[in-house]
């Protein structure tokens, strides 16, 4: 074991939540006086942040763990850690047996395990760690055959009522030491109470736990003070935010109608309204949503709050009621269609994106064609499509995986080809128009930013544009990005005006 570890390296795979979790662990390590290493081989502490949503992601993690075995043999004093969705109380014994060269297995709510392994006083958190880092452990629920939200306390015991921070924060020292860039992910709700039969996340991340609104606001203010101009609120079911928090009059920020309204629990609309009051924060986004939690209040908040970007990800997962029922999604195709119609009617110019699974057990050609026609009909801005991958412990893993791999690939390719044409047509409508983008940085010699509807835009210019809102005239459109010519630097108050 490293006597005085000085550097760390975190390898991350998976969703935006994993990216945010890795950053929280990085902040913890830097509070323990470590600094990031340029490469994995140079680090004293190496952590892999794992993903198990699909078998391919898990295989990549296992491959990395295998390669690290030889590094551990050459450098026995290096500390190896595995975090993320591969690690639960149930999986830890098998992981320890299979990968004995790994020193610590933990998730982001168990950073005390990592601190203890670091030793030499690192397990005694500093004042900033005590205020901003979780030292909690979780009890993960078993996979269930039921559909819909969990009943019961919904995780309030994890600090929602006491105000104790159970999810790691970003220590001031970490923010001071890094150029954060103009955009940042902020997790606001952890875990998932839904019981989709294909999904392993509830058994790996546990029940939903919402971070207190005041805690999120404090973090967002600190980020804005350090130059962050756009925040994306994260959650496996982000539109369920707040349902497990205690009622609070102070937290009701979006259009309270009466004293009775002020006595309810805060929701995502309230959080968006509260964050909108931060002057140096220009844009707000959120993902991923579930159709069952997408309320009229949330839709109204997106429509009425100028800083909230008009872009909503609302996964459909399948286009036939038989498959939706087998997935236990809790809605029908017609209900989903009406939800999209409601969103588009309330929010002019909104971009709607979705997720789709092909090759789910029992998906016939008729079922697949229904999904194909739904994608064609709704004309989403983006479709994230994946072939079904059975995950151990899920209900769907007990079903016959009866769609051949080659057929899954064919269906996936068909959806991708369809969506490429749809996205191209949507983007071509923007040619000749001027759009506002927040510039995130340079990519291969071009400046890159996103519109309020999350379109990627590239432009060339000799100036320094990172972190600025600029107006760009679109000259060329493809299915996945736009190219244009910079016109002017936009006032951040332009966010209050409708723009693509």
- Residue 96's CATH number: 3.40.50.12160
Average pLDDT on 479-497 reads 76
Q: Please check whether residue 23 lies inside any domain of the structure.
A: yes
For the record, the structure tokens of 317 come out as: 């997962």
Q: Is the pLDDT of residue 136 over 90?
A: no
132, containing H or E segment: helix 127-132
What CATH number is given to the structural domain containing 443?
2.40.50.140
Q: Please check whether residue 263 lies inside any domain of the structure.
A: no
Q: Please check whether residue 464 lies inside any domain of the structure.
A: yes
pLDDT tier at 477 (50, 70, 90 boundaries)?
A: very high
Q: Is the pLDDT of residue 202 over 80?
A: yes
**pLDDT, tens only, 223-279:** 999 999 999 999 999 999 999 999 887 788 887 656 566 668 999 999 999 999 999
Q: Please check whether residue 90 lies inside any domain of the structure.
A: yes
Residue 488 is predicted with a pLDDT of 81
Instruction: Report which of residues 161 and 79 the model is more confident about.
Output: 79
Domain boundary among 137, 166, 189: 137
Burial of 132 (0-12, 13-18, 19+ CB in 10 A): buried
Q: Which domain holds residue 456?
A: 429-496
Q: Please check whether residue 227 lies inside any domain of the structure.
A: no
Average pLDDT on 19-45 reads 90
Average pLDDT on 340-356 reads 98
Q: Which residues, in sequence order, are CB contacts of 158 under 8 Å at separation 6+?
A: 136, 138, 166, 209
Q: Please check whether residue 309 lies inside any domain of the structure.
A: no
From the list 216, 32, 14, the residue with the least C-alpha distance to 118 is 32
| Maximum average pLDDT range among 71-85, 193-207, 315-329 | 315-329
Residue 489 is predicted with a pLDDT of 79
For the record, the structure tokens of 249 come out as: 């009059």
Q: Is the pLDDT of residue 367 over 80?
A: yes
Q: Which of 17-21, 116-120, 153-157 has the lowest mean pLDDT?
A: 153-157
Instruction: Report which of residues 135 and 205 the model is more confident about.
Output: 205
Domain boundary among 106, 137, 168: 137
**Which residue shows structure tokens 């409708």?**
498
Residue 495 is predicted with a pLDDT of 47
How many structural domains compose the chain? 2
Q: Please check whether residue 301 lies inside any domain of the structure.
A: no
Cα torsion angle, 476, 477, 478, 481, sign:
positive
Residue 255 is predicted with a pLDDT of 79
Q: Please check whether residue 419 lies inside any domain of the structure.
A: no
Domain boundary among 137, 172, 187: 137
Q: Which of 147-151, 311-315, 369-373 has the lowest mean pLDDT?
A: 147-151
For the entire predicted model, the pTM comes to 0.86
Average pLDDT score, the chain: 87
């Amino acid at each position: 074991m490293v006597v005085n570890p000085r550097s760390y390296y975190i390898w991350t795979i998976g969703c935006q939540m994993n990216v945010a979790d890795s950053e929280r662990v990085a902040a913890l390590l830097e509070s323990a006086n470590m600094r990031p290493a340029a490469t994995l081989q140079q680090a004293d502490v190496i952590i892999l942040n794992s993903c198990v949503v699909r078998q391919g992601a898990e295989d990549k993690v296992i491959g990395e763990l295998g390669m690290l075995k030889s590094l551990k043999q050459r450098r026995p004093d290096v500390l190896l850690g595995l975090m993320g969705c591969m690690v639960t109380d149930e999986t830890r014994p098998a992981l320890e047996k299979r990968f004995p060269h790994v020193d610590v297995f933990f998730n982001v709510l168990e950073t005390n395990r990592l601190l203890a392994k670091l030793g030499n006083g690192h397990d005694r958190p500093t004042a900033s760690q005590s205020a901003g880092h979780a030292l909690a452990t979780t009890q993960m629920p078993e996979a269930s055959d039921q559909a819909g939200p969990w009943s019961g306390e919904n995780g309030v015991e994890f600090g929602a009522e006491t105000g104790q921070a159970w999810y790691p924060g970003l220590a001031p020292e970490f923010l001071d030491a890094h150029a954060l860039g103009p955009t940042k992910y902020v997790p606001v709700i952890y875990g998932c109470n839904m019981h989709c039969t294909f999904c392993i996340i509830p058994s790996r991340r546990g029940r939903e736990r919402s971070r207190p609104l005041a805690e999120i606001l404090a973090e967002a203010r600190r980020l804005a003070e350090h130059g962050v101009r756009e925040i994306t609120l994260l959650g496996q079911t982000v539109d369920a935010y707040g349902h497990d928090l205690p009622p609070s009059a102070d937290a009701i920020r979006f259009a309270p109608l009466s004293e009775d309204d002020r006595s309810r629990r805060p929701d995502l609309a309230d959080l968006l309204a509260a964050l909108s009051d931060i002057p140096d924060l220009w844009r707000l986004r959120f993902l991923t949503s579930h159709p069952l939690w997408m309320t009229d209040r949330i839709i109204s908040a997106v429509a009425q709050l100028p800083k909230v970007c008009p872009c909503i990800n609302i996964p459909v997962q399948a286009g036939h009621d038989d498959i939706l029922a087998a997935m236990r999604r809790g809605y029908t195709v017609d209900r989903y269609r009406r939800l999209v119609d409601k969103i588009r009617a309330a929010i002019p110019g909104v971009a709607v994106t979705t997720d789709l699974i092909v090759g789910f057990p029992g998906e016939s050609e008729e079922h697949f064609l229904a999904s194909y026609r739904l994608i064609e009909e709704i004309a989403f801005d983006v479709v994230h499509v994946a072939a079904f991958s059975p995950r151990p412990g899920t209900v769907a893993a007990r079903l016959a995986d009866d769609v051949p791999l080659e057929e899954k690939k064919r269906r996936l390719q068909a959806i991708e080809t369809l969506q490429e044409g749809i996205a191209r047509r949507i983007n071509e409508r923007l040619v000749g128009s001027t759009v506002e983008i927040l510039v995130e940085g340079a990519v291969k010699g071009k400046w890159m930013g996103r519109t309020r509807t999350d379109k990627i835009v590239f432009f060339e210019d000799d100036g320094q544009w990172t972190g600025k809102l600029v107006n760009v005239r679109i000259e060329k459109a493809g299915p996945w990005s736009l190219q244009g010519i910079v016109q002017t630097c936009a006032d951040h108050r332009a966010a209050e005006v409708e723009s693509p």
